[in-house]
Amino acid sequence: MTVDLHLRRRRGARVRTIAVDSGEHRVLRLDTVLRILSASGRGRVLTPNEFRIVMALLDRRGQVVRRDEVVALAWFPGAAVRSATLDAYLHRIRCHLEVLEADLTIETVRGVGWVLH
């Protein structure tokens, strides 16, 4: 599997594109202005917190992103975020990836965080 990650300009906006080649050469795109995750000709609008979580996972693809790091990136400082809330957000992001037929998975590292593969 090869990955091509780059930024390009579109009408003055930054769009992050992740190309994942898994034989079918599917491309997952994340529009950083409109918060749209798209692939296979379909798009999903992300909530602000979903967007920040996806960005954290993409920035550290293949590495564990700790639960406390996700909270610090997705919520305001000092926010009391329950474990069930984090799990619910990750579930929704996994559902988005499934609907988009993306060749990416989010693995839970129990008691630690998540890894995007």
pLDDT of amino acid 31: 84
Structurally, the chain folds into a number of domains equal to 1
The dihedral sign for the CA sequence 59, 65, 69, 74: positive
- Write the pLDDT tens digit of every residue in 18-56: 655 544 656 788 888 889 998 878 899 999 999 999 999
Q: In 10 A of CB 26, how many CB atoms?
A: 16
Q: Which pair of tokens denotes residue 52? A: 């920040």
Can you tell me the distance from the alpha carbon of 95 to that of 26, in angstroms, rounded to the nearest whole number? 17
DSSP 8-state class, residue 63: S
Q: Which domain holds residue 104?
A: 2-116
Q: What is the arithmetic mean of pLDDT over 101-117?
A: 92
How many residues are listed for the chain in this entry? 117
- 102: domain CATH number is 1.10.10.10
> Is residue 104 exposed (0-12), middle (13-18) or buried (19+ Cβ within 10 Å)?
buried
CB 83: neighbour CB atoms within 10 A? 8
Closest by Cα among 42, 2, 45 to 24: 2
Exposed / middle / buried, residue 92 (Cβ in 10 Å: 0-12, 13-18, 19+) = middle
Q: Is the pLDDT of residue 12 over 70?
A: no
Per-residue pLDDT at 106 exceeds 80: yes
